Amino acid sequence: MLVITIILGIVALVFTSRYFLLKKDLKILNKDIIYRFKKESKANLVTNSSSKEIEELIYAINNLFLKKEEVELEYRKIDQELKENIANISHDLRTPLTAILGYCDLLSKSNLTTESREYVHIINKKSKVLHQLVDDFYDFSRIISKDYPINLECINVGDLLKEVLFEYYEDFVHSTSQLDIEIPDEDIKVISDADALRRIFSNLISNMLHHGTGEYKIRLYKREKNVCISFENQVMFMDIASMERIFERSYTMNSSRSSSRSGLGLSIVKELVYRLNHDLEPSLEDKIFKIEMILKMET
């Protein structure tokens, strides 16, 4: 009886020891997996464990990591090819569209009947819409593929904003909404990219004109060490849920296919603001929609 008790005790000790060793090995393995994910390391997991089961588990996990890396590599390759194809197709479409707009301009200056002139006007209007859509897709594909050049320099942001606003003079004149602009006379300078800022301002103003009602407010002001530019207008059909989606790709307030908007305008704004290391804060209160862009002031 004593012998059996001793044998059972030894067996229990062996199993207990093996249990704690396995637990220790699994704890180490868990730490290694977490470290690999955090550091995005591609090194294989290794172990000093004498357990065959632990070795087989590590072998299986390493194979899973390998498959994951292969899938991610293939995805990045396909994604990059898609971006390049979009950019190439958009670029190819821009040339004939530019030619169409040029011919429309020539035709509008020639002697045409009232009916023919109306047809030319429609062609010109639709071609401009299509040209803008193509530009949006082209620029967006370049931005997300990091093929959009960013040249940082010291910029008088007030003067640049005035230039862009002047380009929309006719749109504001023909709008039924009142425009309230507040831009200080003093020079306010930031470090940014002029072309990217111009595109950001243009897209925000276009979005305001297309979706806004009531009074349009555009303000440039200093807040502590930052420069803030806000675009504010009344909206009729926006809620918090839709506001939180406005920067998503191809999201539009009007889901109808008849809409002439690509839904990329604010996505381009978001991507460019991120590339420029600026901040963007949308807000909605009492049907007043506001987008505030925050830039670091040049000191």
- Per-residue pLDDT tens digits for 95-147: 888 888 888 888 888 888 888 888 888 888 888 888 888 888 888 877 877 77
Structure tokens at 267: 């996505």
pTM recorded for the entire structure? 0.66
Q: Can you tell me the mean pLDDT for 272-295? A: 90
pLDDT bin (cut points 50, 70, 90) of residue 254 is: low
- Of the candidates 220, 188, 192, the one whose C-alpha atom is nearest the C-alpha of residue 204 is 220
Dihedral (CA of 126, 128, 132, 137) sign: positive
Cα 189 from chain centre: 25
Average pLDDT of the chain, as a whole number: 81
297 DSSP 8-state letter: B
Q: Cα(167)–Cα(147) distance, rounded to whole angstroms?
A: 27
Which residues are CB-contacts of 104 (< 8 A; sequence separation ≥ 6)?
A: 120, 123, 124, 127
Contact yes or no for 244/284 (Cβ under 8 A): no
Which residues are CB-contacts of 143 (< 8 A; sequence separation ≥ 6)?
A: 268, 271, 272, 275
Which residues are CB-contacts of 191 (< 8 A; sequence separation ≥ 6)?
A: 152, 153, 154, 155, 296, 298
Cα 173 from chain centre: 31
**In the predicted model, is pLDDT for residue 194 greater than 90?**
yes
Q: Cα(180)–Cα(218) distance, rounded to whole angstroms?
A: 6
Contact yes or no for 131/105 (Cβ under 8 A): no
* CA angle, residues 143, 219, 185, in degrees to nearest 5: 105
Q: Can you tell me the mean pLDDT for 259-266? A: 66
Q: Cα(298)–Cα(155) distance, rounded to whole angstroms?
A: 9
Structure tokens at 153: 């320099």
- Please tell me the predicted confidence (pLDDT) of residue 256: 45
Single-letter code of the amino acid located at 96: P
pLDDT bin (cut points 50, 70, 90) of residue 261 is: low
- Please tell me the predicted confidence (pLDDT) of residue 233: 86
Contact yes or no for 272/256 (Cβ under 8 A): no
- Please tell me the predicted confidence (pLDDT) of residue 257: 42
Q: Cα(45)–Cα(152) distance, rounded to whole angstroms?
A: 43
Q: Cα(289)–Cα(285) distance, rounded to whole angstroms?
A: 7
**In the predicted model, is pLDDT for residue 262 greater than 60?**
no
- Per-residue pLDDT tens digits for 198-246: 999 999 998 888 877 778 899 999 988 899 999 998 887 777 777 777 7
Alpha helix positions (H), the chain: 2-39, 52-108, 114-144, 157-167, 169-174, 194-211, 240-243, 265-275
- Please tell me the predicted confidence (pLDDT) of residue 68: 85
Single-letter code of the amino acid located at 112: L
The residue written with tokens 């925000």 in the block is 204
Structure tokens at 281: 């804060």
